[in-house]
């Protein structure tokens, strides 16, 4: 099987000009051996990354994603709604509010300290849960932080001020958060299917005290041409554990797509959803075909 070790080695040499070729190659091989890296290849090193695909309406993308994820047995935020900027301003601190700061409905994001504008998406804080980033950095101390995102992550940490798990619960959460574990990889696989350009980074996944991962933030997604799926399947060994995880999405049916699309509210913020249903049925057919290949 072709593996992009050489390409990865080149990227590492470029990123860390001080390291030797030999060292870069060893690191590339180590990265490539990690299932989480391999499944995330579409986001991290794919040359197609951020190609100008058409985007899904972000409100529709979030509701649709939650429908699909629940059908895959993956937890999602349980309470969310679309509201006006005025209604968003009146919400308590128990809600995370996302909106497009440019007043359009193209890019929804959480903008602490900015006055909401346009249609907003409000999501109630998941009880007894915190982001993987928060847990890794503050509780299990396994994460050093991630540069430019730190301010936002520090701010998001305020959501979890009353999150006080016991040492036993922290151990449980650490196990659940393993990036080579079934829960994490299932979320990563589902997000590839959803075309979510919000990668499964540690701010986009929560963990509950009882060790259940919750996938959040699926608003940024685009209509792909399927090439990235072909590439991903090409790089995943047929008899690997990771391949079995891809089988979760392959077990979905067109009825699941229909039922998930039906979860999108009939609301002006969501736009028209006809294209979304046909697109995901087609994407599911491709996924099944690639999964069934010997
Ligand atoms: N329902 C929720 N329960 C608990 N925490 C949440 C919830 N929704 C969002 N958060 C927290 O708020 C942060 C920002 O939310 P979200 O990821 O949806 O916004 P974003 O602007 O799209 O983020 P980014 O672009 O950094 O991925 C998350 O990293 C998480 O810490
Ligand atoms: Mg996010």
Break the chain into its structural domains and give their ranges. 5-44, 53-75+128-294, 79-125
- Mean pLDDT, residues 246-259: 97
The CA–CA distances, whole Å, from 273 to 30, 45, 56, 57 equal 42, 31, 9, 9
Which of 38-47, 73-82, 186-195 comes out lowest in average pLDDT?
38-47
Q: How far is the CA of 206 from the centre of ligand 1 (A)?
A: 9
* Measured distance CA(69)–CA(132) in Å, rounded: 18
* Measured distance CA(186)–CA(40) in Å, rounded: 12
* Measured distance CA(97)–CA(292) in Å, rounded: 41
Residues 264-281: tens digit of each pLDDT:
999 999 998 889 999 999
Which of 121-135, 148-162, 198-212 comes out lowest in average pLDDT?
148-162
What one-character DSSP code corresponds to residue 148?
G
What residue owns the CA closest to ligand 1's atom 8?
96
Q: How far is the CA of 117 from the centre of ligand 1 (A)?
A: 18
What one-character DSSP code corresponds to residue 91?
S
Residues 252, 284: contact at Cβ < 8 Å?
A: yes
In this structure, the residues whose C-beta lies within 6 A of any atom of ligand 1 are 77, 96, 98, 109-110, 123, 125-126, 131, 152, 156, 159, 198, 203-204, 206, 216-217
Residue 85, pLDDT > 70, answer yes
* Measured distance CA(263)–CA(64) in Å, rounded: 6
* Measured distance CA(89)–CA(63) in Å, rounded: 22
Residue 22, pLDDT > 90, answer yes
Residues 104-115: tens digit of each pLDDT:
767 899 998 899
* Cα 140–chain centre separation: 22
pLDDT at 109: 93
* Measured distance CA(114)–CA(211) in Å, rounded: 33
Q: What is the pTM of this model?
A: 0.93
Collapsed DSSP state (helix, strand, coil) of residue 149: helix
Residue 191, pLDDT > 50, answer yes
pLDDT at 147: 53
- Mean pLDDT, residues 126-140: 91
- Mean pLDDT, residues 123-135: 96
Q: Give the pair of three-digit tokens for residue 107.
A: 């890019």
């Amino acid at each position: 099987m072709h593996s992009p070790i050489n390409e990865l080695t080149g990227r590492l040499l470029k990123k860390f000009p001080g390291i030797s070729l030999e060292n870069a190659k060893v690191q590339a091989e180590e990265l490539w051996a990690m299932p989480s890296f391999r499944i995330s290849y579409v986001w991290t090193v794919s040359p197609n990354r951020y190609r100008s695909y058409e985007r899904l309406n972000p409100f529709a993308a979030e509701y649709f994603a939650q429908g699909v994820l629940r059908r895959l047995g993956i937890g999602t935020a349980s309470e969310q709604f679309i509201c006006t900027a005025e209604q968003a301003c009146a919400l308590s601190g128990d809600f995370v509010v996302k909106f497009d700061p440019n007043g359009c409905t193209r890019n929804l994001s959480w903008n602490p300290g900015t006055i909401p504008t346009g249609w907003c998406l409000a999501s109630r804080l998941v009880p007894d849960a915190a982001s993987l980033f928060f847990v890794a950095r503050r509780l299990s101390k396994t994460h050093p932080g991630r540069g430019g995102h730190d301010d936002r992550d520090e701010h998001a940490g305020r959501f979890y001020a009353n999150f006080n798990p016991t040492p036993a619960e922290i151990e449980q959460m650490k196990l659940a958060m393993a990036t080579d574990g079934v829960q994490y990889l299932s979320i990563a696989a589902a997000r590839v299917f959803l075309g979510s350009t919000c990668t499964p980074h540690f701010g986009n996944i929560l963990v509950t005290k009882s060790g259940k991962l919750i996938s959040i933030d699926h608003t940024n997604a685009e209509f792909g041409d399927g090439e990235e799926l072909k590439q991903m399947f090409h790089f995943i060994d047929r008899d690997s554990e990771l391949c079995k995880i891809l089988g979760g999405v392959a077990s979905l049916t067109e009825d699941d797509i229909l039922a998930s699309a039906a979860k999108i509210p009939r609301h002006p913020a969501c736009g028209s959803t006809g294209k979304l249903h046909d697109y995901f049925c087609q994407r599911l057919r491709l996924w099944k075909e690639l999964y069934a290949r010997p």
